[in-house]
Amino acid sequence: MTMTELTRLHYPILDFKKPVQQVVAMGFFDGVHRGHQAVLARAKAEAEKQGVPLAVLTYDPHPIVAFQTLKKPLRYLTPLAKKKSIMSQLGVDRVYVMQFTSKLAKLGGQQFVDEVVMQLNPVTVVAGFDHLYGAAGTDSDMLHLATYATNRFDVITVSEFDDYNQKVSSSTIRSMLDQGNVDGAAQQLGRVHSTSGIVVHGEARGRELGFPTANIQTPEEEWLPGIGIYAVKIKVYDTWYLGMASIGRNVTFGDARPITVEISILDYQEEIYGEFVQIQWCHYLRGEVKFENVQALIDQLNEDARQTRHYFNTKL
CATH number for the domain harbouring residue 300: 2.40.30.30
Question: Is pLDDT at 90 greater than 70 in this prediction?
Answer: yes
Same domain, 135 and 224: no
Same domain, 153 and 43: yes
Q: Single out the residue in 104, 136, 167 at which a domain terminates.
A: 167
Residue 127, domain extent:
13-167
Number of domains present in the structure of the chain: 2
Inside any domain, residue 8: no
Same domain, 236 and 311: yes
The whole-angstrom separation of Cα 129 and Cα 251 is: 45
Instruction: Give me Rg for the CA atoms of the chain.
Output: 22
Residue 122: which of 152, 99, 158 has the closest Cα? Answer: 152
CATH number for the domain harbouring residue 78: 3.40.50.620
Question: Is pLDDT at 232 greater than 90 in this prediction?
Answer: yes
Question: Is pLDDT at 71 greater than 90 in this prediction?
Answer: no
- What's phi and psi for 171, nearest 5 deg? -65, -40
Same domain, 215 and 71: no
Judge residue 181's burial from the number of C-beta atoms within 10 Å of its C-beta, 0-12 exposed, 13-18 middle, 19 or more buried. Answer: middle
Confidence at 211, pLDDT banded by 50, 70, 90: confident
Q: Single out the residue in 167, 192, 211 at which a domain terminates.
A: 167
Same domain, 83 and 185: no
pLDDT of residue 254: 61
Same domain, 252 and 306: yes
Confidence at 138, pLDDT banded by 50, 70, 90: confident
Inside any domain, residue 69: yes
Same domain, 193 and 281: yes
The whole-angstrom separation of Cα 187 and Cα 152 is: 38
Confirm if 246 and 236 have CB atoms less than 8 A apart.
Answer: no
Same domain, 46 and 159: yes
Q: Single out the residue in 111, 142, 167 at which a domain terminates.
A: 167
Question: Is pLDDT at 316 greater than 90 in this prediction?
Answer: no
Q: Report which DSSP code applies to 190.
A: T
Same domain, 292 and 226: yes
Residue 242: which of 279, 215, 274 has the closest Cα? Answer: 279
Inside any domain, residue 173: no
The share of the chain scoring above pLDDT 70, in percent, equals 96
109 backbone φψ class: left, alpha, beta (φ>0; ψ -120 to 50): alpha
Same domain, 63 and 134: yes
Same domain, 25 and 163: yes
Confidence at 249, pLDDT banded by 50, 70, 90: confident
Confirm if 33 and 190 have CB atoms less than 8 A apart.
Answer: yes
pLDDT of residue 252: 60
59 backbone φψ class: left, alpha, beta (φ>0; ψ -120 to 50): beta
How many of the other CB atoms lie within 10 Å of CB of 154?
15
pLDDT of residue 204: 66
The amino acid occupying position 237 is Y
